[in-house]
Amino acid sequence: MSVTDEDVLKIARLAELDVDEETLPVLTEQMSRILEFVAQISAVPASESAKPFVPGPDAVRFRPDEVKPWPLAFGPSEFAPAFKAGFFVVPKLGQFEEPEA
C-alpha cells in the first residue's frame, strides 16, 4: 500500500497543517514506508500462539457514579487565554455573526 500526494494533502488539511511543496514528497515517502511496515506485520498469521500484545487490562474498569471532582490546580480564569463573567471566550463563530449594517 502506498500513499499519494493527494492523500497527504487531505490528511494535512484535516489536521489543519500547512504542507509546502518541498515537504510533500518527503511526507508521502515516509507515510508509504510506515504503511508498508504495517502491512508486513499484518502478514504474520494471528493464532493462539501469536496473540497480539495489548498493554493494560482486557476490558475497561468502571468507577461508581459519585460526584468526586478531581480538583484543578488553578481555576479556569487563571489559565484561560480569555475569560469573562465565568465563561471562556473565543472570537465569535462565523455563522452567528450579524451581517454588517
Partner 1 sequence: MTVAGGGWETVIGLETHVQLRTASKMFCGCSAAFGAPPNTNVCPVCLGLPGALPVPNEQALKLAVRAALALGCTLHPKSVFARKNYFYPDLPKGYQISQFEQPLATQGALSYVSPERGLTTATIVRLHVEEDAGKSLHDRFPKETAIDLNRCGVPLIEIVTGPDFRSPPEARRYLQTLKQVLEYAGISDCDMEKGSLRVDANVSVRRAGATALGTKTEVKNINSFAYVEKALTVERDRQIALLEGGGVVEQQTLLYDSKTNGVRPQRSKEQSHDYRYFPDPDLPPLALTEEFIAQQQAQLPELPATKRERFMTQYALSVNDADVLTGDRAVADYYEAVVHAGADAKLAANWVINEVLADAKTHDEQLRVPPGALAQLIGLVRGGTLSQQAAKRVFAEVAERGGEPRNVAEALGVVQVGDSGVVAGWVTEVLGAHPQEVVRYKQGETKLMPFFVGQVMKVSRGKADPKLAQRILEEKLAA
- How many other β-carbons are positioned within 10 Å of the β-carbon of residue 27? 18
What separation in angstroms does the CA of 53 have from each of 12, 46, 49, 56?
Answer: 30, 11, 11, 10
CA gyration radius for the chain? 24
Interaction between residue 81 and partner 1 (CB under 8 A):
no
Q: Is 51 in the site for partner 1 (CB under 8 A)?
A: no
Q: What is the nearest approach in angstroms of partner 1 to the Cβ of residue 28?
A: 19
Residue choice 20, 70, 78, 101 for contact with partner 1 (CB under 8 A): 70
Contact set with partner 1 (CB under 8 A): 10, 13-14, 16, 54, 56-72, 76, 82, 84-96
